[in-house]
Every structure is written in C-alpha cells, then in structure tokens.
Structure 1
Amino acid sequence: MTVATVDVWLRETPPASGAAGIGPETLDGLDPHERERWARLADPRDATAYLALHVLARREIGRLVGRPPESLRFDRTCPDCGRQHDVPRLLDDPGIHLSLSRTRSVVVLALSRSGPVGVDVDLVDATRFGGYEDVALHRDERGDDTRTFAEATTWVRKEAALKALGVGLRVDPTTFVTPTSGVPAAVVPGMSSVTVVDLDVPRPYAAAVALASPAGALRVRRH
C-alpha cells in the first residue's frame, strides 16, 4: 500500500498587537498581496493571526526549498473570476502543495509533495448556530443525537476535503457524507478520492487535514 505524507505545523498566535506593534522587517517579508490583505483586517486579532500564519508558511517553505522566505512567489488566481484570492500555489516549486487555516488564536499550515492538501481548524463553538445542519450536514447525518464536538469535527473534515480537491465551498457540504478519519473517500463525483485525518488539537478546537491522492494511507508528521 502506498503511503502519502503531509507535514503539519500548528501554532498559537501571539497576543494581538495591531499595526503599531508590527515591525517593518516583518511586513517586508510578505508580498504586496499579503500586505494588502493584512492591512484590510480591521480586528487586530485577525490581523495578528493572518500575519503569524503567513510568516510561518514562508519560513517553513523557504527551509524546504532552500530559498529566503521573502523571495517565495505564489499564484492565487481564482479559476472562476481570475482574481488573486484562491488557494496559494508555489511558483518556485509546483510540486509542493500547501494549505492554510486560522482562527484568532490558532494557525495551521499543511505541506505535501504527495498531492493537493487541505487543512482546516475551527472553534468547537463555531458550529453552535441555528441552521447549522442545513448548511453542513448530509441528510443521512442529521438527527437529535448530534453533539457540538461531533458537529465541529464534521465541519473541519468536510472543509479540509474540499480544500484538498481545490473546490472549497463552491461544492455544497451537504451533498456528501463526512469522510471517516483515515479512510479514502470519493466525496465529489468525478474527482480524486480524499483521505482525511483528524488532528490532535487542544480544546476548544477541532482540526483535520486531507490529501487528494490515490494513495491508500496518509501519514501526518507534526512539527
């Protein structure tokens, strides 16, 4: 059986400092797109998490490819509209696939050479809203016995799977049953199978990583 590998970094974010607490040397390490996105985030907690995640990504990818972090080039062209807001693709080494996810307190980076990867992290409480079942669950998953942590796990598995397939929420999460952790599943007709693995993260979070690959097993290396 072929074993695919995904490397995962999960980090807590530093206290929110706002623009006044960010040194120019940190922003100089980002590209114009990243600096613009960072500047548009009104809440300092969101801005700090965004910055922490992208600095982490550039540092670890730079180590992997042997290039200075600030020199890395990414393409984010959306296949639907052509704007720069899609999944980042590394132009310097297209064989490296990456995925990013963040909350205000935790950021996650996933890298793989085995195939397209997706990662998602969320607060367990984020699924506590009216109508959650209508936007997230397949009809076979609905019922009175659903618990909040299970709902959060369902959500991060589905979003990680859709990220790995490169479609994101352009595919309705209610159209497929949540993949079982560690078991390859065909979630979107006509597309690659996806293997999703739950990540061990502290409460109150849930997280999962997924790989779109014909490999039958997925090994996750934590850093």
Structure 2
Amino acid sequence: MAEAVVDAWVLDTAASPAPARGSADAGALDDHERERLARLADGPSVRAYLELHLLARSQVGRLLRRPPGSLRFDRTCPDCGRQHGRPVLLDDPGLHLSLSRAGTVVALALTRSAPVGIDVDEVEGTRFEGFEEVALHPRERGEGAAGAEAQGRATTWVRKEAALKALGVGLLIEPASFVTPRPGVPSEVVPGLPRLVVVDIAAPVGHAAAVALLSADGPFEVRHH
C-alpha cells in the first residue's frame, strides 16, 4: 500500500507582501464565506480569513482544473445543521481538506488519503487559568504533565484539535475527555470512531501546528508548501 500523503501550508499572512495565493477578490468566495468575512472587525483578521479561503480555493481548483470560484462546499454541522462544520467538497468528496486560523497565521491541509484535520494556534493563547481542566485528560494533569510549559501546552492543544477535526466531530467531544495522541502512533481517541495518526508540523515562531489523518497504518508523509 502506498504511503499516505498530506499537502500542508502554514503561513503568516502578516509577513507576506501580497495576498498569499490567487486573487484578493472576495468574489471568488461563496455566500457563506463572504458572510463570515463581513462579520470580521479588524483588518488583520479580514486579510487572514480571505487569504486562507482563497488559498484553499486556488489549490483545490488547481487539482481539479476548475475555476476557484466555481467550487462548492458543504459545511453542515452534525450537531446543529448550520454551515460551520468540516468542509466537504461537493465537486469531489474524495479530496479531503481542513483549514485553521490563529490571528494572522493560517493553515491548510489537502489529501486524497483519508479525512484530515489541521490546527494552528498561538502559544500565548494557551496561557489561561483552567487550561488543564479544559484541555487535559485527568491522567495528563499535575506537575510534569503534558503541556506543563507554554509551547508544550500549545502542542497538546493543536494535536487534540487536529484529531477532532479529522474525526469530523469538532468540539462535540471535549478535548479533556481523551489523552493527547502520541505523534506517529495510531490512536483511537474516541471509542467506536476510526483510529488516527497525528504529526506535528512546522509553524511560525510563537505558534504550534499539527495534522491528523484517519489511519491505522502509522506515520504519513506531510509535504510542506
């Protein structure tokens, strides 16, 4: 069996001199994306959201040889039915994607191997009282536990978030309800749901990022762009 491959992009939109990929014209977005964009208040968030979704559309369009603005996505949440769940490409459901945004840093994962999840977060974003109760399984808490220092806490969080995104359950499953998956080791993080593998990926300074892929076969290749 060929090794699973995930293409991943993690970039800081504040550091790029121009829109990262494709046209900056929001007309390439669909109605849902334009509505979300209009609700963002500050310039950096607007630019990050726009660049992330244009990046996703341009890369998917390149693979399918389709205009980015013609792509159709369904984001139905399995819990409430609203359009804020994992994006599914209606034009080609076998191409799996996942998006993440933390401040000005954005991340995208694409693969045909299996459902995928990507997450990026700011290290400073995990510095809050009660982090252990929100993010860590009881076995991970206490002195010397996973995520005890800032970078470790952020790494723990993105691994769990990526895993939940790959499973398509989002925060319907509490991050504190399962032990953080070990990188490269197939894990059943939620009983009865598929096993998955998580790997850490490079991120800008002050951030952590991870990718998760539904798989019972072990590590997979991540192609960084």
TM-score, length of structure 2 as denominator length:
0.92
- The Cα of 1:109 is off from its aligned counterpart by 0.3
Match of 1:7 in 2: 7
Counterpart amino acid of 2:57?
R
- Asked whether 1:199 is paired with 2:201, we answer yes
Please list the CA deviations of residues 150-200 of structure 1 after superposition, one character each: whole Å capped at 9, or x if unmatched.
111000000000000000110011111111111111100001001000002
CA distance, structure 1, for counterparts of residue 24 and residue 117 of structure 2: 30
Match of 1:65 in 2: 64
- The Cα of 1:148 is off from its aligned counterpart by 1.1
Residues 40-189 of structure 1 correspond to what in structure 2 (within 5 A)? 40-145=39-144, 146-189=148-191
Q: In angstroms, what is the RMSD of aligned CA positions?
A: 1.6
CA distance, structure 1, for counterparts of residue 24 and residue 167 of structure 2: 35
CA distance, structure 1, for counterparts of residue 60 and residue 193 of structure 2: 27
Counterpart amino acid of 2:89?
L
Residue 86 of structure 2 aligns to a residue whose secondary structure is: strand
Maintained 8 Å contact 1:119/1:160: yes
Residues 202-213 of structure 1 correspond to what in structure 2 (within 5 A)? 202-213=204-215
Residue 6 of structure 1 aligns to a residue whose secondary structure is: strand
* Alignment length (residue pairs): 216
- The Cα of 1:216 is off from its aligned counterpart by 2.5
Maintained 8 Å contact 1:3/1:216: no
Maintained 8 Å contact 2:138/2:176: yes
- The Cα of 1:15 is off from its aligned counterpart by 7.2
What stretches of structure 2 of length at least 5 have no aligned partner? 17-22
Residue 179 of structure 2 aligns to a residue whose secondary structure is: coil
Percentage of pairs with the same residue: 61
CA distance, structure 2, for counterparts of residue 99 and residue 220 of structure 1: 14
Maintained 8 Å contact 1:15/1:45: no
Counterpart amino acid of 1:91?
L
TM-score, length of structure 1 as denominator length:
0.92
CA distance, structure 2, for counterparts of residue 164 and residue 15 of structure 1: 28
What stretches of structure 1 of length at least 5 have no aligned partner? 17-23
Maintained 8 Å contact 2:181/2:187: yes
Residue 10 of structure 2 aligns to a residue whose secondary structure is: strand
- The Cα of 1:212 is off from its aligned counterpart by 1.0
Residue 129 of structure 2 aligns to a residue whose secondary structure is: coil
